[in-house]
């Protein structure tokens, strides 16, 4: 399998991976937002997704940055309706 070299394709993959993490771990997401420890609560799932993403995306696309920004967009911004002391 060849590496993804198109930024839009890499962004789609990042969104799909992080969305799956959020969907399959809804209780952890809610708990992590409420207790301001979402990255600790989901560390295993996030790391697994990160490794998969890095294995599929060319390094010139800065996969580290892209994946981290996607984590914030999907796990944090979309969870804005969950009550938390952080907002």
Please indicate, yes or no, if residue 66 is contained in any of the structural domains.
Answer: yes
User: How many angstroms from the chain centroid is the CA of residue 2?
Assistant: 22
Please indicate, yes or no, if residue 28 is contained in any of the structural domains.
Answer: yes
For 15, the domain range is 7-76
pLDDT at 77: 77
Q: What domain count does the chain have?
A: 1
Please indicate, yes or no, if residue 70 is contained in any of the structural domains.
Answer: yes
Please indicate, yes or no, if residue 31 is contained in any of the structural domains.
Answer: yes
Whether the Cβ atoms of residue 5 and residue 58 lie closer than 8 Å to each other: yes
Helix (H) or strand (E) holding 81: none
* Measured distance CA(5)–CA(21) in Å, rounded: 23
φ/ψ of 74, rounded to 5, equals -90, -45
Please indicate, yes or no, if residue 85 is contained in any of the structural domains.
Answer: no
pLDDT tens for 32-80 read: 988 989 999 999 999 999 999 999 999 999 999 999 999 999 988 776 6
pTM assigned to the model: 0.88
pLDDT at 46: 97
Please indicate, yes or no, if residue 50 is contained in any of the structural domains.
Answer: yes
Per-residue pLDDT at 87 exceeds 60: no
Please indicate, yes or no, if residue 16 is contained in any of the structural domains.
Answer: yes
- Three-state SS at 57: strand
pLDDT at 76: 82
User: How many angstroms from the chain centroid is the CA of residue 55?
Assistant: 15
Please indicate, yes or no, if residue 1 is contained in any of the structural domains.
Answer: no
């Amino acid at each position: 399998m060849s590496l993804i070299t198109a930024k839009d394709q890499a962004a789609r993959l990042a969104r799909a991976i992080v969305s799956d993490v959020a969907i399959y771990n809804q209780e952890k997401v809610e708990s992590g937002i409420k207790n301001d420890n979402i990255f600790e609560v989901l560390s295993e799932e996030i790391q697994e997704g990160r490794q998969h993403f890095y294995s599929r995306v060319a390094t010139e696309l800065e996969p580290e940055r892209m994946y981290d920004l996607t984590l914030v967009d999907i796990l944090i911004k979309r969870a804005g309706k969950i009550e938390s002391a952080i907002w």
